[in-house]
Chain A
Amino acid sequence: MKEFKGRVIVPGTCSAEALVSHNGFNTLASFQMAIMFNKKGVPCGDQNNPDLYNQKMQGKALCLPITIGSTTGGMILYTVLAVGKAPACMLFSESIDSLAASGAIMGDVWTDSSMPVIDRLGQEFLDYVKTGMTVTVKDDGVVEVE
Chain B
Amino acid sequence: MILTPEQQAMLDGSKGEVMAKIVKTLVMYGDTFGAERMIPVTSKYGHTVISYGLKVLDPVLDVFDEIIDAGLTDGQKFTADPRPLDKNVPSNLLEDLVFKKIMYTDQARYEAQMEKLGILNDNAYSCTCYLDQVGNKPGKGEILSWAESSAVVYANSVLGARCNRNSGILELFGSIAGFVPEFGFLTDEGRKADWVIEVKCEKKPEAQLLGSAIGMKVLEDVPYVKGLDKWLGNELNDDACAYLKDFGAATASNGAVGLYHIDGLTPEAKELGETLIRDGAQVYVIDDAELERVKANYPVIWADKEARPELCFVGCPHLTLKQLCDWTDAIDRKLEENKLKKVSVPTVFTASPAVIAEFNKTDKANILKRSGVIVSYICALMYMNNPLCKKKAVITCSNKLRTYTSARYYTEGEILNIITSKEAKA
Residue-wise, chain B 17-47 has the 8 Å CB interface mask toward A (1 for contact) of 0000100110011001100000000000000
Alpha-carbon distance between A14 and B182 when the two chains are bound, in angstroms: 32
Alpha-carbon distance between A67 and B167 when the two chains are bound, in angstroms: 12
Partner of A32, one of B171, B299, B385: B385
Interface residues on chain B, number (Cβ under 8 Å): 45
Asked if B63 and A71 sit within 8 Å, CB to CB, the answer is: no
User: A71-B49, A71-B168 given as contacts; is B103 within 8 A of A36 (CB)?
Assistant: yes
Tell me the residues in window 55-73 of chain B with beta carbons closer than 8 Å to chain A beta carbons.
56-57, 59-60, 63
Alpha-carbon distance between A129 and B107 when the two chains are bound, in angstroms: 42
What are the residues of chain A within 8 A of B220 when measuring CB–CB? Answer: 24, 66, 68, 97
Partner of A71, one of B28, B147, B254: B147
A contact residues, range: 35 or more
What are the residues of chain A within 8 A of B171 when measuring CB–CB? Answer: 71
> A26: CB under 8 A from chain B?
yes
Interface residues, chain B, CB within 8 Å of chain A?
21, 24-25, 28-29, 32-33, 49-50, 54, 56-57, 59-60, 63, 103, 147-149, 152, 164-171, 184, 215, 219-220, 252-256, 299, 301, 385, 387, 390, 403-404, 406
Alpha-carbon distance between A44 and B167 when the two chains are bound, in angstroms: 20
Residue-wise, chain A 74-109 has the 8 Å CB interface mask toward B (1 for contact) of 110111001100000000000011110111011011
Alpha-carbon distance between A40 and B28 when the two chains are bound, in angstroms: 32
Partner of B219, one of A47, A66, A73, A108: A66
Alpha-carbon distance between A90 and B290 when the two chains are bound, in angstroms: 33
Select from chain B the residue with minimum beta-carbon distance to A45.
B404
What are the residues of chain A within 8 A of B147 when measuring CB–CB? Answer: 71-72
Asked if A108 and B256 sit within 8 Å, CB to CB, the answer is: no
> A135: CB under 8 A from chain B?
no
Residue-wise, chain A 28-65 has the 8 Å CB interface mask toward B (1 for contact) of 11001101111000000001100000000000000001
What are the residues of chain A within 8 A of B169 when measuring CB–CB? Answer: 74-75, 78, 102, 106
What are the residues of chain A within 8 A of B103 when measuring CB–CB? Answer: 36
Select from chain B the residue with minimum beta-carbon distance to A37.
B387
User: A68-B255, A78-B59, A83-B59 given as contacts; is B404 within 8 A of A109 (CB)?
Assistant: no
Asked if B256 and A24 sit within 8 Å, CB to CB, the answer is: yes
B327 to chain A, nearest CB (A): 25
**Apart from A71-B147, A105-B32, A109-B28, 13 more pairs, CB < 8 Å:** A24-B219, A29-B404, A33-B385, A68-B256, A69-B404, A71-B152, A71-B165, A75-B169, A82-B59, A97-B165, A106-B25, A106-B169, A109-B25
